[in-house]
Amino acid sequence: MTSRVLVPICGLLLPLAIWGQESRGTILGRITDPSGATVADAGIEAVNVDTKLELHTTSNNVGNYQIPFVVPGNYTLVVDHPGFKKLEREGIRVSTQTAVTVDLQLELGTTTESVTVSGAAPLLNPSGGDLGEVLNSNFLSTVTIGLGRNVLYSVRIAPGVNSGGGSSTGNGSGTYRISGGGSIDQAPEYLIDGIPDTVAQNSGGVVYIPSIDGVDEIKVQTTMFDAAYGHTNSGVINITTKGGTNTPHGTAYMYKQWGVLNANSWTNNRNGIQKPTVHAYQYGYLFSGPVYIPHLYNGRNRTFFSTTMEVDNSPRQWTVYARVPTVAETQGNFSQTLGVTGLPESIYNPFTTTVSGSKATRQPFPNATIPASLLSPTGVE
């Protein structure tokens, strides 16, 4: 029996300092007036739609602004400046390791008036040159990725990923072949929330794979990525886990493979071997929300948690076929042994080797039979 319990992921603030690559995004752009002139000292506020957490900045003397370290999620930008109407820009999605450019134009008026912009054109990312694909939680929860429900298996759909991986959540699931920039095969770097998740040996591999329900999005970078990811030239796979929000969310699941619905293999049927029993199942949960302690602490808009657990049980019975020497072969007689072409094999005497230039030749044993004097006593027994 093989089982695995994934360590719960908790979004509480912990007194822990972990150095890793940055997985958060950036919102940047320029503020202008109706004539196109830049607006300096405009107050800019980015509000997370799900947690109501706010990030603040102001535009500089040429109207540019930048909000770094933005946790992936959905945001609304609020801009105000004396002499202009307050502007709200909705529907801004910040993905993992993504710089989102949002240029805004203010309208003349008072700050008591407001303008809300939604349903605008898709946001471009002219500030970065990396090539890749973001797989969000909606995609991950709806696409079929195998009976093993390995969330990493979904990266095979991203452009530039040729092959690799596995349907079950094991270390071998991380051997993906990503094409881009003259990369090395099957050696990408794995990150979870910016923390390295790559085995530091055997050409790499993934250490920990979260459950599908615990993943917010996966970004697959094929080439032209930042120098911070200097451990590989075979692409970067960055997993962003789900954090808590103001609304409690919970999921419980169990998946089971019913052996009665499985067919026996052709090889087993040919050799009269019964269909192996199947006891494969997977269960787990996800629960997240605001930290709330009755009469003591209300963490809405401030403190959140997210925890997940998954257990895998997938014992397997394998039928292995191997060829053993015949009685004649144990005595050195290979005259009846046929090769893959169906013709008799030739056995060459290594002691007759002659070298001419770069070519070596040997003489075959007569009748493909090795003399008894050359047989190893261990092999004969």
| DSSP character string of 106-149 | --BS-TTSEEEE-S-PPPP-TT---EEEEEEHHHHHHS--TTTT
Q: In one letter, which amino acid is 66?
A: Q
Distance, C-alpha 192 to centroid of its chain: 9
Q: How many domains does the chain have?
A: 4
Q: Does the pLDDT value for residue 16 go beyond 50?
A: no
pLDDT higher at 28 or 98: 28
Question: Which pLDDT value is given to residue 11?
Answer: 39
Residue with token string 């009469």: 295
Report residue 348's pLDDT band, with 50, 70 and 90 as the boundaries: very high
Per-residue pLDDT tens for 250-263?
999 888 888 888 88
Residue 280 domain-assigned (yes or no): yes
Residue 291 domain-assigned (yes or no): yes
Burial group, residue 82, by CB count within 10 angstroms (0-12, 13-18, 19+): exposed
Examine the domain organization and report whether 134 and 223 are in the same domain. Answer: yes
Select the highest-mean-pLDDT range: 27-41, 222-236, 249-263, 277-291.
Answer: 27-41
Question: Which pLDDT value is given to residue 288?
Answer: 93
Examine the domain organization and report whether 236 and 138 are in the same domain. Answer: yes
Question: Which residues are 279's β-sheet partners?
Answer: none
Report residue 144's pLDDT band, with 50, 70 and 90 as the boundaries: low
Examine the domain organization and report whether 83 and 142 are in the same domain. Answer: no
Phi-psi region of 182 (alpha: psi -120 to 50; beta: other; left: phi over 0): left
- CATH assignment at residue 35: 2.60.40.1120
Question: Which pLDDT value is given to residue 257?
Answer: 81
Phi-psi region of 70 (alpha: psi -120 to 50; beta: other; left: phi over 0): beta
Examine the domain organization and report whether 88 and 158 are in the same domain. Answer: no
Per-residue pLDDT tens for 174-184?
667 776 655 55
Domain boundary among 117, 150, 181: 117
Domain boundary among 241, 272, 288: 241
Q: Does the pLDDT value for residue 130 go beyond 80?
A: no
Per-residue pLDDT tens for 262-295?
888 888 888 888 888 888 888 899 999 999 999 9
Question: Which pLDDT value is given to residue 7?
Answer: 39
Examine the domain organization and report whether 237 and 291 are in the same domain. Answer: no
Examine the domain organization and report whether 135 and 237 are in the same domain. Answer: yes
Q: Tell me the whole-structure pTM to 2 decimals.
A: 0.66
> Three-class SS of residue 377?
helix
209 lies in which domain range?
Answer: 130-241
Question: Which pLDDT value is given to residue 361?
Answer: 92
Residue 11 domain-assigned (yes or no): no
Examine the domain organization and report whether 147 and 100 are in the same domain. Answer: no
Domain boundary among 86, 117, 148: 117
Question: Which pLDDT value is given to residue 312?
Answer: 83
Residue 319 domain-assigned (yes or no): no
Report residue 15's pLDDT band, with 50, 70 and 90 as the boundaries: very low
pLDDT higher at 74 or 17: 74
Residue 123 domain-assigned (yes or no): no
Phi-psi region of 205 (alpha: psi -120 to 50; beta: other; left: phi over 0): left
pLDDT higher at 202 or 207: 207
Residue 37 domain-assigned (yes or no): yes
Per-residue pLDDT tens for 53-88?
899 999 999 999 999 999 888 999 999 999 999 999
Distances (CA, A) of 245 to 7, 41, 159: 21, 31, 32
Report residue 14's pLDDT band, with 50, 70 and 90 as the boundaries: very low
